[in-house]
């Protein structure tokens, strides 16, 4: 049965605003990004990975799901769950490859930042909820820019994904990118977005979270000052604060994190500085 123009108009109105054309590569590894081509009959508003909505973008008149892969993701076959425009189930398969990250050992002089005291734990738990809420935030209807500017000038001091040891004790992998810069150096938004939260945290120090739309969130930690407020719209290149050494640090730097569908991914992928890998996506019958 053919659809009426009114139904097509309603479907178009319900779909999310797609991102601009992008240059992201398919990098299906832990901490990477899967760029999965969507068939023409897929409804972009219903695409999910591990029950979370994913960002939808266009490139060369084709539609793609841009899927963040957490550092803990296991290699093998993974699936996107979607619906067709006829509301039928659709399953898209893609392969995740293994990746090994290097080890880093750091000495922290403030031992409370390695082994927090009992009085610190309640604050840390409260802050973890606030940080988690910001990084898992979703907003519809935003035209998303996926090609980023570097937020601060300086060399990369600690790459993404490092397996870290603080004072000889194992900790979670490094889920962001550290950029060394002098204290007070300006930090700029890498793309247009809206500030969704700010705060001063036990480990992260002075921090800003920017929502770029459709589950793409950036985080800026250890700042000496914050120049923006929640709800403020920022343009690409607009100063949001300055480099500092607040929280758990050994010197002034910016810890820059990128969260995509609530998975922490390598920020370098958005700067075009990570060598691409290729792995095709395939369509499989829905269960």
User: 282 - beta bridge partners?
Assistant: 93
Q: What local confidence, expressed as pLDDT, does residue 228 receive?
A: 98
Bridge pairing between strands 163-166 and 103-106:
parallel
Q: What local confidence, expressed as pLDDT, does residue 12 receive?
A: 35
Q: pTM here?
A: 0.86
Superfamily of domain 5-99+274-284: Peptidoglycan hydrolase domains (2.60.40.1590)
Is 228 in a helix, a strand, or coil? Answer: coil
Domain 103-270 in this protein, CATH class: mainly beta
Report the alpha-carbon distance of residue 48 to residue 56 in Å, rounded. 10
Environment class of 48 (CB within 10 Å of its CB; exposed 0-12, middle 13-18, buried 19+): middle
What does the pLDDT profile of the chain (287 residues) look like in tens digits?
A: 444 433 333 333 344 567 878 889 999 999 999 999 999 999 999 999 999 999 999 998 899 999 999 999 999 999 999 999 999 999 999 999 999 887 777 777 776 767 777 888 899 899 999 999 999 999 997 689 999 999 999 999 888 988 766 666 655 778 899 999 999 999 999 999 999 999 999 999 999 999 999 999 999 999 999 999 999 999 999 999 999 999 988 899 999 999 999 999 999 999 975 443 333 334 333 33
3-state secondary structure 22-78: CCCCCECCCCCEEEEECCCCECHHHCEECCEECEEEEECCEEEEEEECCCCCCCEEE
Environment class of 169 (CB within 10 Å of its CB; exposed 0-12, middle 13-18, buried 19+): exposed
**CA-closest candidate to residue 54, choices 85, 78, 74, 72:** 78
Domain ranges of the chain: 5-99+274-284, 103-270
Our CA angle for 269, 272, 273, nearest 5°, is 85
């Amino acid at each position: 049965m053919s659809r009426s123009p009114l139904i097509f108009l309603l479907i178009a109105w319900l779909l999310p605003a797609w991102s601009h054309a992008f240059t992201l590569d398919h990098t299906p590894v832990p901490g990477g990004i899967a760029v999965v081509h969507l068939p023409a009959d897929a409804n972009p508003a219903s695409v999910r990975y591990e029950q979370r909505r994913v960002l939808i973008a266009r490139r060369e008149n084709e539609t793609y799901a841009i899927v963040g892969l957490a550092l803990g993701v296991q290699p093998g076959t993974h699936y996107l769950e979607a619906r067709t425009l006829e509301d039928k189930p659709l399953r898209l398969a893609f392969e995740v490859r293994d990746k090994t990250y290097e080890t880093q050992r750091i000495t922290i002089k403030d031992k409370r930042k390695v082994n927090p005291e009992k009085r610190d734990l309640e604050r840390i738990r409260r802050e973890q909820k606030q940080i988690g809420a910001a990084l898992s935030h979703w907003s519809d209807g935003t035209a998303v820019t996926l090609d980023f500017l570097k937020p601060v000038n300086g060399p990369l001091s600690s790459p993404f994904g490092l397996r870290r040891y603080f004072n000889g004790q194992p900790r979670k992998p490094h889920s962001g990118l550290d950029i060394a810069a002098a204290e007070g150096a300006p930090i700029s938004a890498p793309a247009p977005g809206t500030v969704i939260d700010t705060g001063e945290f036990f480990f992260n120090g002075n921090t800003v979270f920017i929502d770029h739309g459709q589950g793409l969130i950036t985080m800026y930690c250890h700042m000496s000052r914050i120049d923006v407020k929640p709800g403020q719209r920022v343009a690409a290149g607009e100063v949001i604060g300055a480099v500092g050494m607040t929280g758990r640090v050994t010197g002034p730097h910016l810890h820059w994190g990128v969260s995509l569908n609530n998975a922490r991914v390598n920020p370098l992928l958005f700067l075009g500085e990570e060598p691409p890998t290729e792995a095709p996506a395939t369509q499989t019958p829905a269960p």
